[in-house]
Amino acid sequence: MKNENAIDIDREKGNFHYDTTYEFDAGIGLNERVVNYIADVKEEDDWVRAFRLKALDIFKGKPLPTHWATKDLENIHFDKFRYYLSKGQQPSRTWDEVPDDVKETFERLGIPEQERAFLAGVEAQFDSEAAYSRMKEDLAKDGVIFVGSTEGLKRHPEIFRKFFAKVIPVADNKFSALNSAVFSGGSFIYVPPGVKVKQPLQAYFRINAESFGQFERTLIIADEGAEVTYMEGCTAPKFETTTLHSAVVELVALKGAKIQYITVQNWSSNVFNLVTKRARAEEEAEVKWIDCNIGSRLTMKYPGVILKGRRARGEVLSIALAGDGQHQDTGAKMIHAADETTSNIIAKSISVGEGRSTYRGQVHIPRRLRGCRNNTECDALLINANSRTDTYPAITVRGNHNSVQHEASVSKVSAEQIFYLMQRGMSEGEAMSLAVNGFVNDLVKQFPMEYSVELKRLIDLEMEGSVG
């Protein structure tokens, strides 16, 4: 079987120590044994083990945030998940086993043949690792470190430990604590001072290379004046039963550095996607989150920037598309902590069928600061009569010469627009697609080309059959 080949190749590269396939199954449920098991498998230092065990305690002690968040969280049965599963445990699948409708989706998305195979869980590790290795060679010349978090911990503990869990403390929320206890996979990136990485670094391949990445942990550090763009491809639909994806992503942009982080999330509609993402921007640094959520059953994700240094800038551009049975609870956090910091949030959501999209945001400007600015715009589009949207921003402003503006609007595609397009020979579905794409167009333009093309197609797909 192809899948076995993939494992063989991995074993050759020596990244993992597979003795038997089953050894990497930590079993069902979450307890100290599971956490110790993960630490054992990864041969981690004692401080990491202690960190994980402490996180587990915190996780157990924290209640679900259902006093403000959806009650759907109560449907997560933490005891029924597998918290560490090696590749060997992934359902082995060949292209022929992939359901026809999924194949069709891939074809219409225009995903290349090689990636299609990867997306379906076939040959994923083999292909991605190869691509990843090539990139690493190019970058190594500039001193850029781009490795998995496990490798990062082992080979670069001096940098890793300095920044690890500093932007998002373990006890930040229940799910960051969970991640801290069982994290595995994710990226560790360090860009040395003044290095501008021209090509975007892609996590598309890597996350899947190391198990499922359900609890991946990413740490990106851009040293002074460095620039880096990182693209995260959870574009992969997954086909497992109800599952939980709970990542923690920490970005550190030192003085004058620029980090751009792009996510296109398209999990299958049985995934709970509960992700904590936060950045720290030092003096004159710039952090931009581009976040696009199309898949999952429930996504709760509020990328944030702590504007720590003078004239730092934070930006979140967010697109959410919620179809039947989906709840996209997304937003942004901007914590101003220095003078003359500026932040911008633009969020657009589309609710189709019984989909529900929620914007939740926080803008905080404390006392003693001067000249801080925030602009927030959130627009929601409701397609069907039973679609739903909510907006819950929270804005706190103190200090001197700070200004904040927040605007939100809710609308539907006007009957006139649809009529105009249909009169020119379009079907109602096509007309609706065009109108919806127009609604998000100014944001989509900011995405890298291949992602914006893909996004447009995904929207077309979702919109089909949404009317009439």
Partner 1 sequence: MSPVTTVNRESELLTESVFEQFQGRHPDLPPWLLQQKRQSWMEYRSLPLPNRKMESWRFSNVRGLGVGPFGLANAINGRSRAALAARSQDPGSYAGRLVFGNDDLLENSPLSRELTEKGVIFEPLQTAFSKHSGILEEFYMAQKSDLGSEKFAALHTALNRNGTLLYVPENVEIRLPLVSRHWAISENAAVFPHTLVIARDRARVVFVDVYSSSEASSRQFACAVSTLYAGAGAEVEYHHVQNWSERSLSFNTLTAIAHRDSRIRAFGMNLGSKFSRNEGHSIIEGPGCNAELYSLSLSHLDQEMDQRTRQTHRAPHARSNLLFKNALLDSSKTIFSGLIKVDKSAQQTDAYQTNRNLLLSPKAEANSLPGLEILANDVKCSHGATTGQLDENQLFYFLARGIGKRAAQQLLVFGFFEEVLEKIDNPELAEYHRRLVHEKFRNS
Site for partner 1 in 129-168 (CB under 8 A): none
- Give 217's strand partners: 248
Q: Which of 12, 65, 10, 16 is nearest to 302 (CA)?
A: 65
Residues 6+ apart with CB under 8 A from 83: 26, 29, 30, 34, 38, 182, 215
Does 402 interact with partner 1 (rule: CB under 8 A)? yes
- The Cα–Cα gap between 443 and 451 comes to 12
Out of 9, 53, 73, 408, the residue judged to bind partner 1 by CB under 8 A: 408
**Closest distance between partner 1 and the C-beta of residue 374, in Å?**
9
CB closer to partner 1, 288 vs 333: 333
Q: Binder to partner 1 among 406, 446, 457, 461 (CB under 8 A)?
A: 406
Q: How far apart are CB 366 and partner 1 at their closest, in Å?
A: 9
429 is a site residue for partner 1 (CB under 8 A): no
Buried b (16+ CB within 10 A) or exposed e, 88-115: bbbeebeeeebeeeeeebbeebebeeeb
411 near partner 1, judged by CB under 8 A:
yes
**Is 392 among the residues that bind partner 1 (CB under 8 A)?**
yes
∠ CA 409-293-58, rounded to 5°: 105
Q: Smallest distance from the beta carbon of 410 to partner 1, in angstroms? A: 4
Task: Give the C-alpha separation, 380 to 347, whole Å.
Answer: 8
Residues 330-359 that bind partner 1 (CB under 8 A): 351
Residue placing its CB nearer to partner 1 in the complex, 392 or 420: 392
Q: Count the site residues for partner 1 by CB under 8 A.
A: 37
Is 325 near partner 1 (CB under 8 A)? no
Judged by CB under 8 A, does residue 403 bind partner 1? yes
How many residues are recorded in the chain? 468
Give min distance, CB of 165 to partner 1, in A.
24
Dist. CA 352–CA 350, nearest whole Å: 6
In contact, 405 and 374? CB cutoff 8 Å: yes
Does residue number 398 form part of the binding site for partner 1 (CB under 8 A)?
yes
Q: Does 383 bind partner 1 (CB under 8 A)?
A: yes
Q: Let me know if 414 is exposed, middle or buried by CB neighbors in 10 A (0-12, 13-18, 19+).
A: exposed
CB of 258 to partner 1, least distance (A): 28
Instruction: Rule CB under 8 A: say whether 384 interacts with partner 1.
Output: yes
> Which of 243/376 has CB closer to partner 1?
376
CB of 409 to partner 1, least distance (A): 4
Binding of residue 433 to partner 1 (CB under 8 A): no
C-alpha torsion sign, points 62, 66, 71, 72: negative
- Cβ 62 to partner 1, closest distance in Å? 12
Residues 51-70 that bind partner 1 (CB under 8 A): 67-68
Cα–Cα dist 365/374, whole Å:
9
Q: How far is the CB of 367 from partner 1 (least distance, A)?
A: 6
Task: Report the distance separating Cα 345 and Cα 32, nearest Å.
Answer: 40
Which three-class secondary structure state does DSSP give residue 171? helix
- Which stretches of 5-152 are assigned E, i.e. beta strand? 145-148
**What's the rounded Cα separation, in Å, for the pair 238 and 427?**
31
- Between residues 135 and 337, which has the closer beta carbon with respect to partner 1? 337
389 counts as binding partner 1 under rule CB under 8 A: yes
- 385 binds partner 1, rule: CB under 8 A: yes
Between 233 and 393, name the residue whose CB sits nearer to partner 1. 393
Stretch that binds partner 1, among 31-39, 177-185, 213-221, 395-403 (CB under 8 A): 395-403
Binding of residue 419 to partner 1 (CB under 8 A): no
Q: Is 409 in the site for partner 1 (CB under 8 A)?
A: yes
Q: For residue 154, which of 41, 232, 246 has the smallest C-alpha distance?
A: 41
Does the protein bind partner 1 through residue 71 (CB under 8 A)? Answer: no
Cα 456 to Cα 433: distance, rounded to the nearest angstrom: 9
Residues forming a β-bridge with 455: none
Neighbouring residues of 60: CB distance < 8 A, sequence distance ≥ 6: none
Which member of 407, 427, 438, 465 binds partner 1 (CB under 8 A)? 407
Nearer to partner 1, 248 or 352 (CB): 352
Assess 396 for contact with partner 1 (CB under 8 A).
Answer: yes
Q: Which residues bind partner 1 (CB under 8 A)?
A: 67-68, 351, 367-368, 380, 382-412
